[in-house]
Structure 1
């Protein structure tokens, strides 16, 4: 597809280029436009851009007072709370590199990533589970300082008072001292020393689990993050972007939310109605209360909304579009959500290594269900041969998706030896190998066929698990499905399906197996269907094939 192709359906031309900026400079620009505009809505309290910027500057000064300098790593071990934004941008104002950590990490997981990244200071919350884990890591690692925020202090005064008086068990007993400081102690009224932060500087280490071995830290620069935020903002066809209100249910520590929510809102002056974690009833109430206009989420969130009895009585008329990413959206969920709510759902695609977003279906006009849409502006792709990535895939055949664009990471932290397997050079450009098998239609819409490492080798044939999953999800009794390969003496591997059922589902495992096998190729047939109460999910709620495979094998 050429740059000038009339088949490109996003609002700006495909060859649009964006100005790389440091995130602090981008924040300053938005602040000057409207300092009093709302930035974050949190459980009944609203924070303006000026308030978050003030706290970020104060935190930057607090870091400098502790000797945190340009290039040092500052970790965030936080759910979705307002101080996440202040700590994120404040660390960058001081020239530090932010490291995101999932609040679900165990002591061992957190300690390993703190050590690998060289994190000197960690910000967390006075929630018992978080503080307990963080304090153990402080005692057993090279971590120097723990900063603890007060959840009650971020709430409206009456909610904060109720938490302190009635729910003391939900507040950790923090042992403050030289190595453990409160958020308020770190943010006194002072001005940080000037620090030159350029677009070329490293901004974020975002760890990715991958498929094998230890997680790797993707190195994302200010230029990559700022450009990707602008690429996402350019997809909006609805007019003044500063008037948008995003539903903030995705966890900020994940790259999808970092770009599609936090930085996206900041670059446009929009606001985020945030919740600490995804809880369906609270999300529905938040959408209605704050008249949310956009909702980026993962497929399991939309399924949970469909399952909730309050959906029918919730006013969703303010929503212009929902964006689904993180995992393929099952066609039945996609169709039913749009039918029940009347809200358009657009699938997109991205990776940690691409700052979050590579492609999306247009929010208005032409879109194609089951695809990940068209590339965001300024991005190029090629398809590599699945067996020999040094070659392009044969014309018209699926191949490994490789991405080139200003949002692609620099590489993995302290892993220069991985570059040869991570990137491929073609026509003087460096392309990121995604590990995803894709195909592209004549209009430039991309479909992900499967993961290269998820393909099942059945007697010399390659079976794509997603193809089998798509078929079994057509059965009205099936709610979720994962297909993995299990060892078999004669054919090497054989597909096996693991499913959960809808409440009204009454099918047996044998009935599902026979129904499925009658609809797919001989080499794709499963040896059995296993019905489970639940399937493993990742920290952002997408189905986790890696964990299932580890459990089974």
Structure 2
């Protein structure tokens, strides 16, 4: 890891151009046995950029990408940036109302999608509601068994690019300050807001990750990376794709996670790196007949998004010889923040790591963000660096609230230990106030997942007539284990939690609702609980 690092001010197409110049014949991406070299990819991007220019797309415009993980997502994302326009993502999991909100809020002039459902029908609806031009691509994997015909009024990608001249990959006037991406994230009012990420933000993030991991064997030209993470999410786009592109690796891109397929791909393609949420790793460890030889090519095993049960951590280590590692970041940081180095002391296993090169992280007082806190003091995590957004699209008030003297206030509660390792305590908005005490759900979840019969746990605050709020735990148990009772669970937890932190209610579930990137969704559970209480009260 380099501590004296400052990212070069670059555009994203400049990153691609430099890598392609070094290794034009090396493979950039493999997608269901379709292989594309860096040189071929540049030519594809230039063709799409030329078609976009011809259609009047350029600096100041926004183009929406409504796509699953496909080659078209990669091609159009880079093509858009090569015209100095900005992209915005519509998630495949967005409800129709959310899709329409993003289209209208972003002011997108064009929508790129595929003709598989539900993309096809919803793209038609969006075209009717907004009047934007829709370009529809043909993807044999996503369209297996589907209608390949492009509906009337929409434009086939083949027709869109036909006869277009190739445009320069780096157009005149392009610079790191150009807006590259409007990436939507949750808002305090329940309405999503778009973080404005520049070309420089995204390129700085990629460079910081490579500077951190560059000395490790798992990083560098020729390495093979398997990803199921959605490219429509900042983690998949930036950490899994842009960072790996900058180091010259080969990306093995897939759409939907399947544990048996993942093990087969690792074995067949000699994959060196794989990252995913804990439930993904759990599913892989349960593949019938899996053995260490199946995963021997792996050099990096990444995780995040949920507490990690010690038993799963140990099982992955037994199968791979690797310690599951991750870090911390946000949409607003592109998402560079912290990462866990390979030589973390066992006492620091719950850490989110140390700041990435070129990124500044500190802990500040929640009630006074100008006051920097010391070792092991709990406060709000603040981040500063060339990777950090300048603010939110069309949201000046939210932008003002999110920053203090150039530092992004993340809304996450954390601390830093004497060795400089950072830790997440909880989300500020998820904190439960019980009998006047601050209770952090992540601490409760980490304690519950220590129980040998627990696979996953989520804790939320629920109304309590006596305490104001109390903790309710939602637990997924190991198959075949005896159903937990609240009193037995709390007997176990008393070694790890204070009395105010103990759950007052317990719900055993077969699964936990998830966000589009596979994280456990506290919001969905809070909504379920609120609906249940409203029904019980006859509202």
Residue 381 in 1 paired to residue 361 in 2? yes
Superposition map of 1:369-408 within 5 A:
369-393=349-373, 396-408=376-388
Match of 1:105?
94
Change (3 A) 1:253 1:311: farther
Change (3 A) 1:423 1:330: farther
What SS class does the counterpart of residue 109 from structure 2 fall into?
strand
Q: TM-score, normalised by structure 1?
A: 0.90
CA contact (8 A) 1:211 1:546 kept: no
CA contact (8 A) 1:471 1:516 kept: no
Aligned-CA RMSD value: 2.0
CA contact (8 A) 2:475 2:506 kept: yes
Q: Deviations over 1:446-473 (max 9, x none)?
A: 1111111111111111111111111111
Q: Deviations over 1:395-425 (max 9, x none)?
A: 6411100001111111001111112210011
CA contact (8 A) 1:229 1:264 kept: yes
Q: TM-score, normalised by structure 2?
A: 0.92
Equivalent residue in structure 1 for 2:158, among 163, 184, 190: 184
Equivalent residue in structure 2 for 1:264, among 243, 249, 265: 243
Match of 1:540?
517
Superposition map of 1:112-123 within 5 A:
112-123=101-112
The number of aligned residues is 523
CA contact (8 A) 2:50 2:166 kept: yes
Deviation at 1:39, TM superposition (A): 0.6
Deviation at 1:77, TM superposition (A): 1.0
- The unaligned stretches of length 5 or more in structure 2 are 531-539
CA contact (8 A) 1:256 1:357 kept: no
Equivalent residue in structure 2 for 1:415, among 382, 390, 395: 395
**C-alpha distance in 1 between matches for 2:428 and 2:336:** 20
Match of 1:336?
315
Deviation at 1:42, TM superposition (A): 0.8
Match of 2:440?
464
What SS class does the counterpart of residue 481 from structure 1 fall into?
strand
**C-alpha distance in 2 between matches for 1:212 and 1:499:** 28
Match of 1:521?
498
Residue 488 in 1 paired to residue 464 in 2? yes
Deviation at 1:533, TM superposition (A): 1.4
CA contact (8 A) 1:346 1:361 kept: yes
What SS class does the counterpart of residue 134 from structure 2 fall into?
strand
CA contact (8 A) 1:509 1:530 kept: no
CA contact (8 A) 2:308 2:449 kept: no
Change (3 A) 1:24 1:456: same
Match of 2:10?
21
Equivalent residue in structure 2 for 1:359, among 326, 338, 346: 338
Match of 1:149?
137
Match of 1:444?
420
**Deviates most, 313-322 or 412-421:** 313-322
**C-alpha distance in 1 between matches for 2:423 and 2:147:** 46
What SS class does the counterpart of residue 242 from structure 1 fall into?
coil
**C-alpha distance in 1 between matches for 2:64 and 2:95:** 15
**C-alpha distance in 1 between matches for 2:494 and 2:359:** 41
**C-alpha distance in 2 between matches for 1:378 and 1:48:** 30
CA contact (8 A) 1:436 1:452 kept: yes
**C-alpha distance in 2 between matches for 1:20 and 1:311:** 45
Change (3 A) 1:171 1:502: farther
CA contact (8 A) 2:292 2:320 kept: no
Q: Deviations over 1:230-273 (max 9, x none)?
A: 11111222357112111111111111111112111221221101
CA contact (8 A) 2:305 2:520 kept: no
Superposition map of 1:115-264 within 5 A:
115-142=104-131, 144-152=132-140, 168=145, 170-177=146-153, 180-188=154-162, 190-192=165-167, 194-210=171-187, 212-236=189-213, 237-238=215-216, 241-264=220-243
**C-alpha distance in 1 between matches for 2:27 and 2:515:** 31
CA contact (8 A) 2:490 2:502 kept: no
Change (3 A) 1:264 1:463: same
**Deviates most, 389-398 or 236-245:** 389-398
